[in-house]
Structure 1
Amino acid sequence: MTGSVSEPALDIVDETFLTVPPGTVAAVFADPAAWRRYWPDLVLEVYTDRGDQGLRWTVRGALIGTMEVWLEPVLDGTVLHYFLRATPAGQPLTPARLRREFDRRARAAKAIALDLKTTLEDGRAAGEPPRSSVQ
């Protein structure tokens, strides 16, 4: 976390493995209603739609910057990469408040990923066939 004019105050990176194909994860993020549910205080505008590889957005609202979800196919699933590079809008934050904001945003990103993992995997472990294939 740094706070200069050239660098965003928040630079958050998260990675989570999901045992589902990238297209399954991409379908969740393709719906703008999901964006409002996951990031209610942000206004997102897609500037790169990479289909099953994810999305890149410009961010306005409580934060100003960019955000990306990159979906990387790995083995029998997807690594969900999340990047947020932004600065809080409005008055500059004290270092302590900036650390709390960083922690809040990082925890929220992981909570989204873990919720998707639970929902989309539906109990499937890595290496197991999808439930629809089990006989």
Structure 2
Amino acid sequence: MKKKSDVKTTVVRARESFKRIIIRQDFTKRHVHVRCFVAGYHYHDGESIIDLLKEKEKMLLIREFYNPYDDNAIAVYTADYVQLGYLPKVLSPLIAPHLEKKNDVQCRLTRINRKAYHDPYVRLEIAVRFPLE
């Protein structure tokens, strides 16, 4: 049985969009599980390939060290290197160190809502496994 302190679940509301981010950290199994949306979707190539995207498709997370808007920016790409957008700015400080340490970070597309207001609402699921330090 897990102790209450072994698992921490956090729900964050990103101010700019009011879309939910769910972060679940399990320190005994050394992993972080995140559910979030793709930020800045309508500024990138996502709209041109929306009909080609499939749920459960693997996504690539790539650090952008020289991004002028976010020091921890993480871009979201398809397997064909088409940029969909970014991880939300409030989330990137949590994931960026794991990418830099080359920990096991996996990302997949979990939902596409084409009827969402303003731009298609694309959700991701990110799993991070990290070693004991």
Asked if Structure 1 and Structure 2 have the same fold, meaning a TM-score greater than 0.5 normalized by the shorter chain, the answer is: no
Answer 1 or 2: higher relative contact order, Cα 8 Å, separation at least 6.
1
Name the structure where helix makes up a greater proportion of residues: 1
- TM interval, shorter chain, is 0.3 to 0.5
TM-score after normalising by structure 1 = 0.33
